[in-house]
């Protein structure tokens, strides 16, 4: 049966290409969406690791006093403590303001990379990223003005360097300054308590992170100590979780693409089974069982799904690598992660989805192939009777469209009314809204496909009459004849236009999604 299936695939390669392309696009979308999740997680981890700068333990419960720092530094196994002084405020130049997290230069670990100029060494000196400098239109030696509307204080900070680091995709690079400068800004703005945001504690290598935490807690258990690895895990989950909106968006496209591919596959195998009626009947005459006929069609679907899914994964990898390359070339000063470390599940899951979806979509036509009797090999080619739609089809189609439209419109409107002015809580329901919206959209499309046998012939008949109206008598007769032929078989006409409707709808959906994502990024 396997060799027979391969031979049938070779004979029907033209029709299988369309189904294969649909599978490639569907699995490619799935791969790209999963890669986006991997990139976001890798970006978040790189950001947090860079912020910790090689520390082993982090103290997070403020306020921290100088006595706390000296007590920790005196403990065995501690190489040093780096207090993280941070002050957020807007900085202004050239009538443009940019919010900045002004952070003290590290006293332990690696210093931030220097691109140009000299690291801040005196009061009032800062180092900014290239991206930050471009946003304000400033360079080395120029001054940025800060002001506090509560205390009515203001002052200036002088740029002495441009850092060699940029913003990662999920966060902005800090503005670096001396410890005294950041502490002075806190004191001038009368912030209480005057304290570092956290303490980075560096071990000397003689103790593990957990042992170091236990040793410090034995002296002072009120500092909120956490090992660096635990901090990385927690903050990565927070940062990646806040960015899952884009992953959900990609998976929404992937779900629609996979379902559309399933429709194309079902239609393709229905046509193939209809064309092979005599071949299947001859197989039955030769002794083939219904199970063997079923397996021959499913083997064909399995091979098609496997080959096309592998192609889709390669396409998704190419799209992901292309997106990373594009971001790296277009976003100046932004550190973009690579795709060198890919989760194996990212490669395996799309293949499984593609194969299972192909088998499920082809199962109906495969079962229909088992109903071909052996005597069909002796019959002349039958002409399908012209059939329209019945009352049950009309009722089911209307119900599906009504439920689909309700799911599309109802939950977002109800949720927006329930949260009133607190729009921020909508972010917690992004995944749910997308899932409900996808379900509603699919039900609406499915309802249209069910009703198309009623809708399309009437639209074709109306358009034909409109086209024939201004034409001369002979040309009008041709238009009326074409219209009559088009509506002679309502099911065939509906099936022909359904492919166009799905294709155009998918393109419009992608364009709308891209515009929505762009608006989300800009806001």
What's the pLDDT tens digit per position in 103-113? 888 888 778 88
Tens digit of pLDDT for each residue in 487-519? 887 877 776 677 677 767 767 776 776 676 666
Mean pLDDT confidence for 161-169 = 69
Instruction: Grade residue 522 by pLDDT with cuts at 50, 70 and 90.
Output: low
The number of angstroms, rounded, from the C-alpha of 436 to the middle of its chain's C-alpha atoms is 17
| Residue-wise pLDDT tens digits, 423-462 | 555 556 666 777 787 788 878 888 888 888 888 888 988 9
pLDDT at 100: 85
**Higher pLDDT pick, 78 / 511:** 78
Q: Between 312 and 247, where is the model more confident?
A: 312
What are the helix and strand counts (H, E) for the chain?
15, 13
Q: Return the minimum-mean-pLDDT range out of 70-79, 210-219, 468-477, 506-515.
A: 506-515
Task: Map tokens 């236990």 to a residue.
Answer: 214
Least confident among 33-37, 368-372, 374-378, 450-454: 374-378
DSSP state, residue 53: T
Lowest mean pLDDT among 17-26, 284-293, 422-431, 498-507: 422-431
pLDDT band at 166 (very low <50, low <70, confident <90, very high): low
Read off the pLDDT of each residue in 400-426 and give the average, rounded to a whole number. 73
Q: What is the DSSP letter of 220?
A: -
> CA-CA distance, 405 to 441, in Å (whole number)?
7
Of the ranges 117-126, 190-199, 240-249, the best mean pLDDT one: 117-126
Instruction: Identify the DSSP state of 199.
Output: E
pTM, two decimal places: 0.65
Q: Which residues contact 365 (CB under 8 A, 6 or more apart)?
A: 266, 269, 270, 272, 273, 297
Edge-to-edge strands of the sheet including 198-203?
78-84, 198-203, 57-59, 225-227
The full DSSP string for 352-405 is: HHHHHHHHHHHHHHHHHHTT--GGGGGSPPPPPPP----HHHHHHHHHHHHHHH
Mean pLDDT, residues 362-382 taken together: 75
Residue 352 pLDDT: 94
Q: Is the N-terminal amide bond of 70 cis, ω within 30° of 0? A: no
Q: Of the candidates 374, 358, 355, which has an alpha carbon nearest to the alpha carbon of residue 366?
A: 358
Q: What is the pLDDT of residue 212?
A: 87
Mean pLDDT computed over 405-410:
86
For residues 457-474, one letter each, b for 16 or more C-beta atoms within 10 angstroms of the residue's C-beta and e for the rest, the string is: beebeeebeeebeeeeee
pLDDT of residue 332: 46
**Local confidence band at 151 (pLDDT 50, 70, 90 cut-offs):** low
Torsion of Cα atoms, 488 then 494 then 500 then 501, to 10°: 140
Q: How confident is the model at residue 350 (pLDDT cuts 50, 70, 90)?
A: very high
Mean pLDDT for all residues in the chain: 80
Which is more confident, 270 or 431? 270
For residue 367, give Cα distances in angstroms to 124, 252, 261, 270: 79, 31, 20, 10
Instruction: Say whether pLDDT at 93 is over 80.
Output: yes
With a cut of 50, say whether residue 309 has pLDDT above it.
Answer: yes
C-alpha 300/C-alpha 370 separation (Å) is 15
Question: Which residue in the block uniquely carries the two structure tokens 């193939």?
Answer: 272
At residue 420, the pLDDT reads 58
Residue in the block written with tokens 């209307």: 398
Residue 170 reports pLDDT greater than 80: no
pLDDT surpassing 50 at residue 333:
no
Judged against a pLDDT cut of 80, whether residue 149 lies above it is answered with no
pLDDT of residue 403: 92
pLDDT score at 441: 81
Per-residue model confidence (pLDDT) at position 277: 79
Burial class (CB in 10 A: 0-12, 13-18, 19+), 320: buried
Res. 257: pLDDT tops 60: yes
Rg (CA), the chain: 33
- Ranked by mean pLDDT, the top range of 74-78, 82-86, 205-209, 309-313 is 309-313
Rounded Cα gap, residues 148 and 267, in angstroms: 67
């Amino acid at each position: 049966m396997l060799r027979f299936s391969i031979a049938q695939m070779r004979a029907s390669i033209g029709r299988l290409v369309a189904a294969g392309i649909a599978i490639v696009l569907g699995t490619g979308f799935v791969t790209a969406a999963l890669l986006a999740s991997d990139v976001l997680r890798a970006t978040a981890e790189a950001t947090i690791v860079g912020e910790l700068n090689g520390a082993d333990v982090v103290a997070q419960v403020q306020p921290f006093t100088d006595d706390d720092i000296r007590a920790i530094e005196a403990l065995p196994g501690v190489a040093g403590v780096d207090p993280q002084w941070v002050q957020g405020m807007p900085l202004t130049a050239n009538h443009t303001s940019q919010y900045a997290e002004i952070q003290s230069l590290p006293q332990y670990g690696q210093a931030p990379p220097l691109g140009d100029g000299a690291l801040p060494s005196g009061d009032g000196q800062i180092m900014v990223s290239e991206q930050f400098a471009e946003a304000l239109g400033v360079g080395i030696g120029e001054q940025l003005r800060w002001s506090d509307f509560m205390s009515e204080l203001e002052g200036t900070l002088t740029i002495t360097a441009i850092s060699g680091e940029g913003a990662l995709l999920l966060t902005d690079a800090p503005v670096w300054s001396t410890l005294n400068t950041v502490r002075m800004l806190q004191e001038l703005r009368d912030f209480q308590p005057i304290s570092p945001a956290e303490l980075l504690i560096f071990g000397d290598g003689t103790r593990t992170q957990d042992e170091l935490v236990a040793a410090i807690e034995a002296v002072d258990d009120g500092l909120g100590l956490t090992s660096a690895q635990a901090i990385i895990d927690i903050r990565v989950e927070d940062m990646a979780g806040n960015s899952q909106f884009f992953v959900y968006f990609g998976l929404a496209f992937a779900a629609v693409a996979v379902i559309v591919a399933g429709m194309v596959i079902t239609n393709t195998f229905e046509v193939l089974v209809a064309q092979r009626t005599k071949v299947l009947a001859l197989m039955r005459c030769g002794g083939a069982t219904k199970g063997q006929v079923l397996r021959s069609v499913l083997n064909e679907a399995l091979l098609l799904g496997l080959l096309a899914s592998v192609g889709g994964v390669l396409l998704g990898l190419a799209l992901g690598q292309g997106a990373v390359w594009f971001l790296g070339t277009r976003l100046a000063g932004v550190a973009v992660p690579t795709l060198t470390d890919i989760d194996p599940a990212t490669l395996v899951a799309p293949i499984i989805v593609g194969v299972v979806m192909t088998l499920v979509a082809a199962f109906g036509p495969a079962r229909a192939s088992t109903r071909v009797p052996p005597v069909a090999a002796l019959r002349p080619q039958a002409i399908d009777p012209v059939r329209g739609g019945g009352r049950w089809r009309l009722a089911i189609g209307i119900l599906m469209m009504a439920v689909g439209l309700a799911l599309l419109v109802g939950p977002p409107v109800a949720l927006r009314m329930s949260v009133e002015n607190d729009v921020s809580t909508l972010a917690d329901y992004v995944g749910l809204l997308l899932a409900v919206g996808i379900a509603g959209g699919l039900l609406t499309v499915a309802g249209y496909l069910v009703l198309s046998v009623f809708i399309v012939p009437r639209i074709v008949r109306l358009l034909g009459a409109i086209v024939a109206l201004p034409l001369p008598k002979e040309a009008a007769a041709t238009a009326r004849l074409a219209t009559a032929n088009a509506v002679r078989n309502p099911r065939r006409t509906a099936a022909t236009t359904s492919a166009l409707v799905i294709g155009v709808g998918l393109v419009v959906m992608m364009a709308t999604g891209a515009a929505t994502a762009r608006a989300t990024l800009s806001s």
